[in-house]
Structure 1
Amino acid sequence: MRLTRKQTQEQTRSRLLDAAAEAIFAGGLSALSIRSVCEAAGYSQGAFYSNFASRDDLLLALMEQHIGEQAANLSALITGMGRGNLNQDMRDIARWLADHGETEGWSRINADFKLHAQRDPAFAEGYRATAEPFHRAFAVLMGDLVHRHGLQPILPAQDLSVGLYALWTGLALQQAVDPALPRQEIYLAFLRAAMIAPHAPLSSFPKGHHS
């Protein structure tokens, strides 16, 4: 079946993103160039600029694709969580984080992106905006715990979600050099420390999917 123009453009964009991811997996962010991505994907630079405004635009699209997948997975966890006691709910979240930790390759990409953001304020702004859906999903997950169990957390939802995301990605990267690291127990310790101390009003957290 002949592809429509929109389908052809989506296919081109997807192949360019795949080629970029493979290049970063293999050699890091410094190894990525528009020319190398186009050659690997089999397209001209004209095709690249029909889909992306710049190299940084490509990087943010790559990040958005990955974070979107993870945010969807996290939202599914929120929807499907049982209605157990507080300890069980926290263990379920900690287990999910450990089981769905970012792959080593994506952890390296994320570390490269953060370093790039430190050097480039414009990219940093795009990075923060792209990561927002995932932080929001984490905030809803924590808010669900807060309202279901009547907790008073130590920080607002957004701050805790950013902290948990940093812990998640950092431990995923650390696993490459320390495979025996007890990540699930570390996540559980974070959740217990963050969600029980009575220092913040419940109104600082969004309501989740509790009944």
Structure 2
Amino acid sequence: MARMTRAESQAQTRETLVATAADLFLKDGYAATSLEKVADEAGFSKGAVYSNFRNKDELCLAVVDAIRADQAQKLARALENRTTLEEMLAGFERWAEATIGDVGWTTFEVEFSVRSRQDESIRVAVAERNLAIREAVTLLLDEHARAFGITLPMPAADCATALLSLGVGLGVQRAIDPQVGVAVLPSVIRLLAGG
């Protein structure tokens, strides 16, 4: 077996640290998870953490990116090979039921968003990531509106903002009360689609 290069070893260490931090942030929350705890759980020294991340916030941003990328892949799979709007909404609703309101993820995102207000560079980094999501949803809405011959009742960017805001709020409600259903989200998409 070939020996890993320094770059491969560092990439693997970084990946392990992000995965370990994600587990801890989702289980214990942002404030309760120290860099020492992440290093210990991952089997590394605290120095290994600092050689990959400047601070806890930078590690946290990497975790946010990893979680969101994973959820984007899950959503893409849920929508894969769906040819009608109703099939897409059914796939979306299954993803939403399994995802929106996950207590660990919701609490972590809210806690880190609140934390970002204390540091302008972190606030900007979180805002940039949120903008990227809104832009991606805007593109999807534009594409699907054209494909299905739908005239949206407002600009696609506004629809994206409304849907994401509803999703975040719904996530918070479901984290508190798992009995809150997700059907309202596809129902709003139907309304935006004119039906």
TM category (shorter chain) comes to: 0.7 to 0.9
Are the counterparts in 1 of residues 17 and 38 from structure 2 also a CA contact under 8 Å?
yes
Question: Partner of 1:31: helix, strand, or coil?
Answer: coil
- What one-letter code is carried by the residue in structure 2 that aligns with 1:162? T
The gaps in structure 2 that reach 5 residues or longer are none
Q: Which residue of 1 aligns with 2:166?
A: 167
Q: Number of residue pairs matched?
A: 194
Q: How far apart are residue 91 of structure 1 and its match?
A: 4.1
**Equivalents in 2 of 1:61, 1:37: separation in Å?**
13
Are the counterparts in 2 of residues 71 and 134 from structure 1 also a CA contact under 8 Å?
no
Q: Which residue of 2 aligns with 1:176?
A: 175
Compared with structure 1, are the counterparts of its residues 194 and 116 closer, same or farther at alpha carbon in structure 2 (3 Å cutoff)?
farther
The CA deviation string for residues 32-74 of structure 1, in whole angstroms up to 9 with x for no partner, is 2223322332222322222112221111111111111222333
**Equivalents in 1 of 2:170, 2:59: separation in Å?**
26
Q: Which residue of 2 aligns with 1:26?
A: 27
Name the % identity: 27
**Equivalents in 1 of 2:7, 2:101: separation in Å?**
31
User: Which structure has more RCO (C-alpha within 8 Å, separation ≥ 6)?
Assistant: 1
Root mean square deviation of aligned Cα: 2.6
Are the counterparts in 2 of residues 52 and 58 from structure 1 also a CA contact under 8 Å?
yes
Compared with structure 1, are the counterparts of its residues 31 and 6 closer, same or farther at alpha carbon in structure 2 (3 Å cutoff)?
same
- What one-letter code is carried by the residue in structure 2 that aligns with 1:140? L
The gaps in structure 1 that reach 5 residues or longer are 198-211
- What one-letter code is carried by the residue in structure 2 that aligns with 1:135? R
**Equivalents in 2 of 1:79, 1:88: separation in Å?**
10
**Equivalents in 1 of 2:8, 2:132: separation in Å?**
26
Please tell me whether residue 45 in structure 1 is matched to residue 43 in structure 2: no
Structure 1, 98-107 or 42-51: larger mean CA deviation? 98-107
> TM-score scaled by structure 1?
0.76
Q: Give the 5 Å matches for 1:61-140.
A: 61-77=62-78, 80-82=81-83, 84=84, 86-101=85-100, 103-140=102-139
> TM-score scaled by structure 2?
0.82
Structure 1, 43-52 or 59-68: larger mean CA deviation? 43-52
Q: How far apart are residue 77 of structure 1 and its match?
A: 4.7
The CA deviation string for residues 159-197 of structure 1, in whole angstroms up to 9 with x for no partner, is 3323323332432332233222221x2012221333339
The CA deviation string for residues 134-156 of structure 1, in whole angstroms up to 9 with x for no partner, is 33332233223311232222333
**Equivalents in 1 of 2:47, 2:23: separation in Å?**
21
